[in-house]
Structure 1
Amino acid sequence: MSEYFEVIGVSSPGKELEEVKSDEEIEVIAIDMSRQMTPVKDMKSLWSTYRLLKKEKPQIVHTHTPKAGIVGMLAARMAGIPHRLHTVAGLPLMEATGTKRKILEFVEKLTYASATKVYPNSQGLFDYILEHNYTDKYKLKVIGNGSSNGIDTSYFSPDQVTEAQKTLLKKELNIEDAHFVFVFVGRLVGDKGINELVKAFSYINKKENSQSQSKLLLVGPLEQELDPLHPDTLREIENNPDIISVGFQKDVRPYFAISDVLAFPSYREGFPNVVMQAGAMGLPSIVSDINGCNEIIIEDQNGVIVPVKNSEKLGEAMEKMKSDTDYYQKLKMNARPMIESRYEQSVIWNALLSEYKKLIKERDYRV
């Protein structure tokens, strides 16, 4: 976008924001935004964003994530920004109940009311938003085939990880060539289905003999503040030698490269990057039947779809992947081509660029 527009990136402060500044060669501005419900801090964020927008006078403000959405869209509306765009990449309210659910729904509706366009990043989210009357249909649009950013299939490619790298990493993690490796990539929290995944793996793991052993590779940070795992799950992760937890990794490609299947039983998603990444790396996936996942994965073609929060069905799918070699190889063969043909990053970028140009042209024409 910086080839066509002057781009300013706004986010909470931190090393990631500085990395964006360096990698993308754009101006960045830090405005603190809490991920939790913090009314006083949120008002400060709103005021700071409003002042910034009044100063910069951009034609387009495009927000991502629920908190940046409500802060950015309200501030942009107050500042009179003509194009106020919000991408919906998941709805935390789907798993909320009671008063919390009502508050989150109110915030979501206010965000959409303040926006001029709302971009759900999957058809499932589009349908969910309409079904619950969060906004009018004319405001909604899915860019391309979905996803927020597509995927760079030249970067996420099996060719990017050498045999030497794989051998070294397997040695570090005590994984042998005979092991069948299930991998999960993401935050280790309840909403990602980690409790069910660990339970399913532990069950099939106990049935195995030493010659047909499986490993479960968990790649991601343990976040116990907002959505903690069950104590039994934590104990199993710590005590089961066949569960390997490596924490957050900046480059996840080597971990995909030494794995056989992505297991991703999340409760809710927008359009999960990790499922596209795994597919581009040549891995079939086991995913839950939720928005995004059930669009990227087509049953019995590039993966398996299982019911949400169902460790038994998840375990059955894991067992079939491991035991039915012909079935597994068929899914594996389709995995990368099905991502390349639908979600290549350049296609999504060009679709979004066309949307920006169209909106600005329409605005100029009206003026």
Structure 2
Amino acid sequence: MEEEGTHFSFENQFLLGLAHVDSGPCSEENRIPQDVDTRELSDRWVVGDESKVLTRVSMGRPPSKSPVRGKDARMSEDSLRVLSILTRMNRGGPSRMLRLADVYLRGEGVDHRLLCGQTSPGEDEPAFAKDLPWRRVSTLRREIRPFQDVKCLREVTRHIRDFRPHVVHTHMGKAGWVGRLAAARAGVPAIVHTFHGHTFRGYWGPVRNRILLSAERYLARRSDALIALSPSQSAELGQLLGQAAEAKIRVMPVPLDPEAAPDLAPTKNACRQALGLDAALVIGFVGRLAPVKDVPGFLRVFRRILSGTRRPVTALIAGRGDDALERRLHDQVDALGLQGRVRWLGAVDDVTSVYRACDVLVLTSRNEGSPLALLEGAALGVPVAAYAVGGVEDLLGTGPHAAYAPPGDEESLTNLVLKWIDTGFPTAVQTARAAARLRGLHDAQRVISQRLDLYRELVRTGTTRRGGRGTR
């Protein structure tokens, strides 16, 4: 067997090739120090408030077991092992969806564990992270860093070979790249990836987009199933990734937390009192303060709304970003004359109270997959106004509870909200009807049961991949 630490495989070259898409010369901090032992990793999985040993591993030894194959792959239902890999554990939608999946999968007897990378600057780990069986991979970061990514591939491969999962399920871009390469390398019986959005349009220039799309087409061939969160996202991915990938795409909606239901949530008045709000209209923004969310656009729309009505209006912004971006946003508030009109809540664990305090949620994202904040708000009976990007319309449907503007058209989005202010927001009966429909479509137990059925089907029927590498 070739020595894992010295073998420079195609997968390594693949990651280094992607690096040339993202940046220029490798900085000194991205080089592997000569004195670093790339095999030194923690041997504990974090569960609950303490570090609880689930499986003892020795990361320095060569793999002593082959991946699960043949008869072993056709496991009894209560022995299924699933490893989820997430780029970073933050307060965003993918992390919260995985929390729900973990509860239901473990409730069905599945041995479910997670590998997660480092959070980005300006991001915090959610309070629920302490309750998940996860392990941090320090080299897994959102940014493309050539030599660190090769090291990450090796570390993730070793984790997979120790746990020997029947299924590896990756989430988000970077985890999808590294996790699927590592899983194919380790001979995992079933490899699944969920697109929580994509970066093939609207993020980069045309050359970089073509390179990333070619990389994703390659990775799709090393996947057994690709999960889209909405029909429109499925159609778009099928068009972008080609016919072979299209056959692997399954549509599975976003799961909703059953505890975030209107009859369990506090009242609007109670939420406003807790936030110190008066009787003004409240326009909410919930999400990461990141360029793709276009928070400057939200502030410009809010300024237009103030100019178009005599009623007092307050904006609530719940979320965090890196320090430089937050400073620019605060400077923009001053430049637009919005002092005292914008409330910055920062990172919030109890987003339900923020939704309930709002009269309308506004989304100004340039690109979206299936934004969980809009879904959660609408499922609590809060009207939403958003740009018609990605899977937003699929997610919320049509009706009086939702209004859509052409992407980037700030005047149209402003007018949608002003129309509600002038003529009245949707009635409680209308929003309750829409909320009930959304909670039914996105029932967490039903959605995650579909996912579990997919796992069992893939392991039972065998891989659909072409060109898998198998075990070293």
Moved more, 189-198 or 34-43: 189-198
Q: Write the distance in 1 (CA, Å) between the matches of 2:369 and 2:326.
A: 18
1:161-182: CA deviations, max 9, x gaps? 25774253242xxx212x1111
1:216-258: CA deviations, max 9, x gaps? 1111113366899678735457843212121111111111111
Q: Residue 176 of structure 1 is aligned with which of 262, 266, 278?
A: 278
Aligned residue for 1:187? 288
Correspondence 1:159 to 2:258: no
Q: In 2, are the aligned partners of 1:190 and 1:227 still within 8 Å (CA)?
A: no
Q: In 1, are the aligned partners of 2:308 and 2:418 still within 8 Å (CA)?
A: no
The amino acid that maps onto 2:257 is D
| Shift in alpha-carbon separation, 1:228–1:305, aligned structure 2, 3 A | farther
The amino acid that maps onto 1:117 is A
Q: Residue 186 of structure 2 is aligned with which of 74, 79, 87?
A: 79
Q: In 2, are the aligned partners of 1:31 and 1:49 still within 8 Å (CA)?
A: no
Q: Write the distance in 1 (CA, Å) between the matches of 2:378 and 2:431.
A: 8
Aligned residue for 2:137? 30
| Unmatched runs of 5 consecutive residues or more in structure 1 | none
| Shift in alpha-carbon separation, 1:155–1:264, aligned structure 2, 3 A | same
Q: Give the SS at the match of 1:348.
A: helix
Alignment of 1:211-230 (within 5 A): 212-223=311-322
| Shift in alpha-carbon separation, 1:72–1:31, aligned structure 2, 3 A | farther
Larger radius of gyration: 2
Higher-helix-fraction structure: 1
The amino acid that maps onto 2:278 is E
Aligned residue for 1:64? 171
The amino acid that maps onto 1:7 is H
Q: Write the distance in 2 (CA, Å) between the matches of 1:29 and 1:10.
A: 6
| Shift in alpha-carbon separation, 1:261–1:204, aligned structure 2, 3 A | same
Q: Residue 140 of structure 1 is aligned with which of 215, 240, 249?
A: 249
Q: In 1, are the aligned partners of 2:256 and 2:443 still within 8 Å (CA)?
A: yes
Give 1:10 shift.
Answer: 0.5
Q: Write the distance in 1 (CA, Å) between the matches of 2:282 and 2:263.
A: 16
Aligned residue for 2:419? 320
Give 1:361 shift.
Answer: 2.4
| Shift in alpha-carbon separation, 1:18–1:344, aligned structure 2, 3 A | closer
Q: Write the distance in 1 (CA, Å) between the matches of 2:260 and 2:315.
A: 24
The amino acid that maps onto 1:102 is R
Give 1:293 shift.
Answer: 0.9
Give 1:50 shift.
Answer: 1.1
Q: Give the SS at the match of 2:111.
A: coil
The amino acid that maps onto 2:345 is V
| Shift in alpha-carbon separation, 1:326–1:166, aligned structure 2, 3 A | closer
Q: What is the alpha-carbon root mean square deviation over aligned residues?
A: 2.7
- Say how many residue pairs are matched: 352
Give 1:75 shift.
Answer: 0.5
Q: In 2, are the aligned partners of 1:65 and 1:89 still within 8 Å (CA)?
A: yes
Q: In 1, are the aligned partners of 2:193 and 2:227 still within 8 Å (CA)?
A: yes
Give 1:202 shift.
Answer: 0.3
Q: Write the distance in 2 (CA, Å) between the matches of 1:88 and 1:183.
A: 26
The amino acid that maps onto 2:312 is Q
Moved more, 242-251 or 330-339: 330-339
Q: Write the distance in 1 (CA, Å) between the matches of 2:127 and 2:380.
A: 28
Aligned residue for 2:213? 105
Alignment of 1:222-261 (within 5 A): 222-223=321-322, 233-236=332-335, 239-261=338-360
Q: In 2, are the aligned partners of 1:49 and 1:72 still within 8 Å (CA)?
A: yes
The amino acid that maps onto 1:10 is L
Correspondence 1:356 to 2:455: yes
Aligned residue for 2:162? 55
Q: Write the distance in 2 (CA, Å) between the matches of 1:363 and 1:230.
A: 51
Aligned residue for 2:232? 124
Q: In 1, are the aligned partners of 2:283 and 2:360 still within 8 Å (CA)?
A: yes
| Unmatched runs of 5 consecutive residues or more in structure 2 | 1-104, 464-472
Q: Write the distance in 2 (CA, Å) between the matches of 1:334 and 1:263.
A: 20
The amino acid that maps onto 1:142 is V
Q: In 1, are the aligned partners of 2:167 and 2:188 still within 8 Å (CA)?
A: yes
Aligned residue for 2:470? none
